[in-house]
A = this chain, B = another copy of it.
Amino acid sequence: MTKQFRTEIIAVGTELLLGQIANTNAQWMSEKLAAIGMNVFHHSVVGDNLQRVKEQFQHSKNRADVIIVTGGLGPTEDDLTREAFQKIVKRDIIEHRPSMEKIEAFYRKQKSKMTPNNRKQARVFTGADVIENNVGMAPGMIVSENDTTWIFLPGVPREMKQMMSDNVMPYLQQLTGESSVIKSTMLRFIGIGESQLEDELSDIIQNQSNPTIAPLAQSEGIAIRLTAKANTQEEATNLISKTKQQIQAKVGDHMYGADEQTIEENVFALLKAQNKHIGAAESLTGGMFTEKLIAVEGASKVCLGGLVCYDTNVKENVLHISPETIRQYGTVSDECAAEMSRNICTLLDSDIGISFTGAAGPDSVEGHPPGTVFIAVYDSSKVSIARKFTFQGSRQTIRKKATLKGFELLYNLLK
């Protein structure tokens, strides 16, 4: 029988209480903690006020065994987490040499002057397990005080996440002695809506409790989270694998990957495996497609570059779209998109060309209302595609949907 640890997450920061940001840190951590069977009973948010942070710590100590505190470790006057904690426990604060050296090295490298308040970030409690910050300045800390475990982490999500994944989660798993295995995987889909997905899978979803099946609508398509609990890793893997197969049998055509995989990584992998280079001619998307592809590590192996031909003159003079095409069909047309996708191959000497042209809004373009988008894919060795799409939403949403659709078309072409 493993001990149940009552867990609380405290976020320190007035910006949360003013509504400037949402407490997404608590969400992210809670999901991780749930996966190892920890019971999170409270989230608390308190502002940058010494007295109130102290009172919150005092109160939380009486109702939780593990308390994770984010924020208030930075260099400014407002950062009061250490001071508040010192008011409820007897711990000295000392300068952590390795952290201080890192901060100093950062400023040396930046060739900028380190202001004195930055020293504050290297201060830790005596007896604390110090957690190195690999992406920022202030280190984290684990402090065991009587029966309570306090974990202090920076509020910057990137820093908090790295420390949670690398240090805190392994520590907590050891602490709780959680013996049953929780395994979770995310299946990723494109080209299918949430309600259609739920509809197609309704039998499986209703008759299934381990793994649990949770569909999630995300900005980059739909995902399904499978979470299995078992006595061994192998058993959990088998449970997930079995359900994954059932899901694939129904909607496998739309499934492009798992876990943190993105559609652009998938397209990158397909291009690389097929030893093909791609170039993009982007009008309304303005470079978003190329930017996303180049964000993938090793992108140079598949992407030579791209042309943002936002202006008609650039389409004509650089991409050599024939004035006749533009006169007869306009720049927002099947014909122009198709020619763009062919010509970008010639210009960049690539195997595949993709093009985006349309009206992102707020104004219409050549009589086409915002949301009208033409996407073409030209593959020198296969058939070409040129299709019209109608997207809803803001200028930015339309541009994002068009980019995502481009990756979907490529994925379907290459897989």
Where the two chains meet, the residues of A that have a C-beta atom closer than 8 Å to any C-beta of B are 14-24, 26-34, 40-47, 49, 52, 55-56, 59, 63, 74-78, 106, 109-110, 112-113, 115-118, 135, 156, 193-196, 198-199, 205-206, 214-217, 225, 280, 282, 284-291, 293-295, 297, 299-300, 303-311, 313-314, 317-318, 347-349, 361-362, 390, 392-396, 399
Contacts and interface: CB of A to CB of B under 8 A. Distances in A.
A361 B290 CA distance: 17
A297 B286 CA distance: 12
Copies per complex of this chain: 2
A206 B17 CA distance: 22
Contacts of A303: 286, 310-311
B362 A297 contact: yes
B44 A16 contact: no
A194 B76 contact: yes
Nearest to A303: B310
A121 to B, nearest CB: 9
Contacts of A310: 290, 294, 299-300, 303-305
Q: Most chain-B Cβ atoms within 10 A of its Cβ — which of A14, A193, A286?
A: A286
B28 A19 contact: yes
B195 A295 contact: no
Nearest to A22: B27
A253 to B, nearest CB: 15
Contacts of A19: 26-34, 40
Contacts of A77: 198, 205-206
A378 to B, nearest CB: 18
8 contacts: A74-B194, A75-B194, A109-B392, A115-B199, A135-B394, A287-B289, A294-B310, A306-B307
Nearest to A282: B287
A200 to B, nearest CB: 9
Chain A interface SS verdict (over half): mixed
Q: Most chain-B Cβ atoms within 10 A of its Cβ — which of A115, A349, A362?
A: A115
Contacts of A40: 17-19
Given A286-B299, A347-B318, A23 B26 contact: yes
A45 B42 contact: yes
A281 to B, nearest CB: 10
A198 B304 CA distance: 43
Contact of A313 (B18, B23, B297, B349): B349
Contacts of A112: 193, 196
A393 to B, nearest CB: 7
A64 to B, nearest CB: 11
B42 A44 contact: yes
Nearest to A399: B295
B22 A23 contact: yes
Q: Most chain-B Cβ atoms within 10 A of its Cβ — which of A33, A45, A109?
A: A45
A304 to B, nearest CB: 4
